[in-house]
A and B are shown apart, each in its own frame.
Chain A
Amino acid sequence: MPKIGITALVPPELIFACGGQPYDVNNVIPESKKYPKNKLCAWTAIWQEMLVKREIKIDSLIVVAGGDCHNALVDGQKAAMSGIPTHFFFYPFDGDHKYMESQLHSLCSFLGDIKHPEKFRQIKELKKAGQLIDKKRVNGKISAGEAFRILVSISDLMGDLDKFKRALDIKTPHLNAGIGVNRIALIGVPPIYHDFHDVAQSLDLQIVFDELPYEFVRHTGADLNEVAKDYCNYTFARPLDFRIGFLQKELEKRKVDGVIHYTQFACHHTLEDEILRQELDYPILTIQGDLPGKTPEQIKLRLEAFREMIARS
């Protein structure tokens, strides 16, 4: 099975159906100790460096450029120039599913066409099970950390559908009972710190929504056409009002008490903070991360103060 690197959300349904094994190049970053030389955002800078040095071994790369991240577009080209066969994938800003379909077709040609159409349905089923994990943590049945680790791994389904299926079977035996006190939505790109959800929980902030991983689990389709219709509503690629409308409904459903907006240093999504604050009617804490590792003390202080604020309001 050729190993196909992806830089952000690319329908894993299609990669598996074309006989590839998706591998999200972001997987290694939160635990990485690298200090990339030429960097804006550490996410793209680190995978770029590791790809060019062949420290991440893949057969080809799909860079999500359109509607997602221009840093990835440039760093993806550096990887391409180092000799990795690379395809650039563009989401439609206006949600046009015909455009989405044409993008999926050209992705198919890059991957060598659909050989295992049954993978679409299999993955659709697995994502349904993934949605249950999300529900369970909303209801405090499993910890936010465990739910996050599963949800975020849906981008590439661990490169192995059986392995992923086994991973779905999680239980949190010692979950403390104080759940539901400070219900938090975590919006923006995922934090670059590997222990963020556990740290938040230890400070009595219960994360009940992970914006981007929820996008990973909610989009799917039983064939290419369905995938096109569904993924064209990937909120991160759409205009802000579309994304905000979606967020408003989701936050209300999940009865959140506060919102944490995680932003990444040198990421354009930081510019959205102002608008999100205006439009979302919740106490909002904005934090910014840069290099991977443990959640820094200064961020813990902000989280703690945020908890104190919510608890008193």
Chain B
Amino acid sequence: MIGLDVGSTTAKRVKIEDGEIKFEITGTHNWKDLVEGIGKEDIISTGYFRHSVPHKASVTEITAARFGAEYYFPGVEVIVDIGGQDTKVIDVKKNNFIINDKCSAGTGAFLEFVANYFKIELTEMGRLHSKAKRIPQINNTCGVFAVSEMISQLVAGYSKEEVIAGIHYAFARRISFMIPEAETIVLIGGTVKNEGMISALRDILNKEILIPEEPQIVNALGALEYSE
């Protein structure tokens, strides 16, 4: 049995062999490579394209995230999944979830917008953040308005690194409104690799933030776990 997560940008396959997690990640357009030689009855699918790929059973990415996070951190209370198109907060204890998918504020798309503005790679933002000496106050997380605020801060004498740190803090504040009371939070999704973002979240939330060893495969693993 495999867990197959086919999302909007990447596809992931997870298998458990002798108690060990084996996984593979590829671009969504290559998803077929992941199921070569595997029958439909051996696939539990999840992700945006879960209904379009062969599967024995499918499960939403919300439920898959719960089961996947539970695998790494038994007793998990809150899961925050910051993806490219949306951000999901799953309150496991209360059986509740909030999804922000109406606007890019508070999703990975906003950070991408900022990276584009500075003509840098998204992956560089965390490193630049760590060089900031001061953190300017940026209030807007709407891509369009944030740019004019960033320009004002640059004109006021803040460095690029500092403005990026300010952006991470604005982003973390925005996300914090969605997060319920809990001791610990499990963070998954693409932005998990951005250390600047994570340190801003730690600061703003004042909570313990746990990150799974392989944050990208949590949902594929969760689909597999759900079926069991």
Contacts and interface: CB of A to CB of B under 8 A. Distances in A.
Question: Does B associate with A?
Answer: yes
28 contacts: A277-B94, A277-B96, A283-B94, A283-B95, A283-B96, A284-B96, A285-B96, A285-B97, A286-B96, A286-B98, A298-B99, A298-B101, A301-B60, A301-B62, A301-B99, A302-B97, A305-B60, A305-B62, A305-B63, A308-B59, A308-B60, A308-B62, A308-B63, A308-B226, A309-B63, A309-B95, A312-B63, A313-B95
Contacts, number: 35
Interface residues of B, number: 13
Interface string B94-120: 111111010000000000000000000
A98 to B, nearest CB: 42
Contacts of A310: 95
A298 B97 CA distance: 13
Interface in A259-313: 277, 283-286, 298, 301-302, 304-305, 308-310, 312-313
Nearest to A309: B95
Per CB-CB distance, the 7 closest pairs between chain A and chain B, nearest first, are A305-B62, A283-B95, A308-B63, A305-B60, A304-B60, A309-B95, A305-B63
A313 B62 CA distance: 15
A298 B101 CA distance: 8
Contacts of B60: 301, 304-305, 308
A310 B62 CA distance: 13
- Residue from A283, A298, A301 whose CB has the most chain B CB atoms within 10 Å: A301
Interface string B58-101: 01111100000000000000000000000000000011111101
Contacts of A308: 59-60, 62-63, 226
Contacts of A312: 63
Contacts of B99: 298, 301-302
A284 B60 CA distance: 17
Contacts of B95: 283-284, 309-310, 313
Given A277-B96, A308-B59, A308-B226, 6 more contacts: A284-B95, A285-B97, A298-B101, A301-B60, A302-B97, A305-B63
Nearest to B101: A298
B9 to A, nearest CB: 17
Contacts of B61: 301
A249 B226 CA distance: 34
Nearest to A310: B95
Contacts of B101: 298
